Structure formats: C-alpha cells, structure tokens
Amino acid sequence: MPAAKPNEKEFAEATERVIARLVADFQAQPPRFWDERDIHWYLFHYLKPDPVLLCDYEPESIRAEFPTRRVYTEGAKPARGHYDLVILDPTSVTSPPVSGLPPWAPWEECLPHMAVLVAVEVKTWVERTTNIPKKADWDIDKLTDPSNAVRQGYFLNFVQLDFSRKHMLDFYQDLREYLLEKAKQWPKLRILCVPHDKGIQPDPKQNWL
C-alpha cells in the first residue's frame, strides 16, 4: 500500500524545520551570508532532502521566482509579482489540467489551478538607512493578497548590523516594531526577524513575531 501523500500542515512544518536550520547557520557563521541569494540557496538546499519533500513529485513542487496569480497594475505596465520560493500542492501540479499543459503555456492557463501551499519572501538588512516600509511592504502585500490564494506565507528577515553602535541597534528595534505591527495586522502570516548576533535576541522563539 503506497504511503499517503503529505498534507498541507506537513509541508508548513517542513518549511519551519528548514527555517530553524537556516537561522542556526546564519547565527553561527554570518559572514557566509552575503545577500538574499545565499539565503535562497540554503532554503532550497535544506528543503530538497526533507522527508516530506522526498517524493517523486518533489522537483515539480518546489519553485523559485514563482509568479503571483494577481497581475499588478500600479507600475509602468501591468505585471505579476514573484515569490522567492514556493511549495506547490503536488496534486495540483501532477493532475489535469496543469499536467497536460506544455512548458510554454501562458500563466493565465495554469495559475488558477496551481495551489500555493507555502510562499516565502526573504529580506536581508545590512544598513540602517534602508526605508523599512518601502522594502518590506511589497513582499507582505504579495503574501497576504487574498487574490493570490497563498495558504501559508513566510516573511523572513535576516539582520546583519554592527550592533555595538547605538544607531544600528535602534534601527533593529525600529524594524522589529514595524514588523510586529504587520504581524498584528496579518496574524496568519509568519514573520521572522533574526539578528546575526544571538546575544541581541537570546530567546529564539522571539525571532518569530
């Protein structure tokens, strides 16, 4: 009898296991993480061998730069947003009509039938002059927009600053407070804000807002 396919909760739990490993690596050796692409690479590296993803359909379920269902019209021309990483519902990928579509099929034909179980957006913060709302809000909007139908969103913030300088520590606190307000506004969205120095936030549970 074949093993039952993982359910939505199990995919979210796998994602959080991977995030915990990533946070441990980030705080153990922060110089290894130069930018957001490094974070993306580690997410893929740890997700791929997770028991929940070790299935025949795994390569089709984990996707990078996956487009939003919604086409945004606020820019110079209409365009979809993209998520850094998603885990798709395997059934929706391997069943008709998606399974019968060619690789060149337009997104309009397949996106309505592809269920995004997990969507992840990553931000690195390495300078205090960054405009917090300008950098954070777009990702939060994509993850929480009902028309995109994301089952579980993760907004991961990795902070590398010289915390020995008061203005850098103040920026970190401002970032946490801003993200805390967003967490209250969107309670289902999982928001992480982790400093590279564990001494700044000794309780790892408090990295989740």
- Contacts of residue 37, defined as CB under 8 A and 6 or more positions apart, other chains included, come to none
| pLDDT tens-digit series, residues 79-112 | 999 999 999 998 888 888 888 888 888 999 999 9
- Contacts of residue 150, defined as CB under 8 A and 6 or more positions apart, other chains included, come to 116, 118, 119, 143, 144
Q: Are the C-beta atoms of residues 196 and 30 closer than 8 Å to each other? A: yes
Q: Are the C-beta atoms of residues 36 and 29 closer than 8 Å to each other? A: no
30 by DSSP, 3-state: which?
Answer: helix
Low-confidence stretches of the chain (pLDDT < 50) are 1-2, 58-59
pTM: 0.94
| pLDDT tens-digit series, residues 57-78 | 544 789 999 999 999 988 778 8
Kindly state the tokens that stand for 30: 């922060």
Neighbours of 127 (CB within 10 A): 9
